[in-house]
């Protein structure tokens, strides 16, 4: 018997669904004080994303240094300075700077 294969679209859909579930679980684990579990969920979501070639959900932010989900006030601080949004990870201290523009 040969292996049953699934189409690429089906694999992408399954990957997106599992990534969204894992990102929500990581936020919940972080709120409950389980940083190690939250990091594990983010790393699993990343490996699924690499395997199925899908991206993380648009609203989900995580530290690329320590793989911790960034929840303002809980695991990171957010400052608005000089036309940039500066997010500092509370675990490893890495910075993420994103410019924001004026409305036209």
pTM of the shown model: 0.85
CATH 1.20.5.420 fits 8-99, yes or no: yes
Domain boundaries, the chain: 8-99
DSSP 8-state symbol, 92: T
pLDDT tens, 26-55? 999 999 999 999 999 999 999 999 999 999
Q: Helix H segments across the chain?
A: 8-31, 35-52
Considering only CA atoms, which of 6, 67, 75, 13 is closest in space to residue 40? 67
Task: Kindly state the average pLDDT of the residues 74-84.
Answer: 93
CA dihedral angle for residue 2, residue 13, residue 32, residue 95, rounded to 10 degrees: 110
User: Does pLDDT of 102 surpass 60?
Assistant: yes
Task: Tell whether the model's pLDDT for residue 1 goes beyond 80.
Answer: no
């Amino acid at each position: 018997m040969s292996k049953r294969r699934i189409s690429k679209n089906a694999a992408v859909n399954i990957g997106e669904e599992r990534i969204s579930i894992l990102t929500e679980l990581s936020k919940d684990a972080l709120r409950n004080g389980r940083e190690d579990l939250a990091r594990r969920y983010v790393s699993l979501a990343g490996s699924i994303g690499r395997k199925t070639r899908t991206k993380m959900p648009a609203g989900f932010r995580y530290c690329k240094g320590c793989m911790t989900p960034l929840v303002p006030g809980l695991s990171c601080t957010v400052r608005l300075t000089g036309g940039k949004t500066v997010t500092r990870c509370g675990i490893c201290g890495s910075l993420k700077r994103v410019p924001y523009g004026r409305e036209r």
